[in-house]
Amino acid sequence: MLAAVALVAGLLGGSKLAAVPENLGCPALPATTIVATTIVSTAAQCPALEVSGNVGQGTVSIDPAFDVSVSAAQLARTTEGNAVLAGFAADGRQLFSLPVAALGAFHVYVPLATAAQQQVARLTLASDRGSAERRAAPGAETGAEIISLSDQRVILAWNANAFPAIRVAESPEKTPIATGSGSSTFEQMTIDTRSRRLYVTFSDGVRSTTRGFTIFGR
């Protein structure tokens, strides 16, 4: 009953957000060199693919990636590294290749134009300690079931088999108040919030989409 009622509320109350406008002066791979003296101000907001993971002894992994907008100063630079992060389109075309200095956990913002972000279907990470790959989960409609449990808490459920990681915020411009991950088709989490509307960013593993949802019962 919870799932049925909330699913209807989520689908009716959800709205997909438009992509952040792109600054034409932002650096973007596959340029061979990205340096700090680029023409765009280091404070300008630029599109990027946020990628994290781990390069350990016998353990190499890539976490679900998110499309974000960050300051130009935060963008990864092409440097020497002990690992190479690469992105590929569904037809096998390489979209970018970025050296990553990673011994243990790593976290980078890959400078990637919005059009290229939308084509990413596979990420690979190769190092002398091993390699890892992450592919986009099979296509599914972004949806969430969000029900008020009290005036301070809600329960959120989503399909983590299609979207292995999510971020939840009270507005598109604010820092996420919660993150979730999993692998089941009905993953659940509770969130402390007084808001009547939440914005959920769904990662399919290699890219992400944000939608707004009205909370059922508020």
Instruction: Please give the Cα distance from 67 to 33 (Å, whole number).
Output: 22
Are the beta carbons of 216 and 21 closer than 8 angstroms?
Answer: no
Which stretches of the chain are DSSP H helices? 2-13, 114-117
**Structure token digits, residue 70:** 């960050």
Query: What is the rounded distance in angstroms from the CA atom of residue 173 to the CA atom of residue 81?
Result: 33
Q: Between 57 and 73, whose confidence is greater?
A: 73
- Domain residue spans in the chain? 2-18+138-214, 45-135
How much is the pTM?
Answer: 0.83
**CATH architecture group of domain 2-18+138-214:** Sandwich (2.60)
Going by pLDDT thresholds of 50, 70 and 90, the confidence category of residue 5 is very low
Name residue, tokens 């690992």. 83
Supply 60's token pair: 């190499």
The answer to whether residue 73 scores a pLDDT higher than 90 is no
Q: What is the pLDDT of residue 35?
A: 41
pLDDT for residue 33: 40
| Euclidean distance between CA atoms 158 and 42, whole angstroms | 37
- At 56-72, the pLDDT tens digits run 877 899 999 999 999 98
- Count how many Cα atoms sit within 13 Å of the Cα of residue 111 in the half-sphere of its side chain: 29
Token pair 């990673």 is found at: 102
Whether pLDDT at 115 is above 90? no
Per-residue confidence (pLDDT) for residue 57, from 0 to 100 = 79
Which one, of 41, 29, 139, 42, lies nearest residue 85 by Cα? 29
pLDDT for position 103: 86
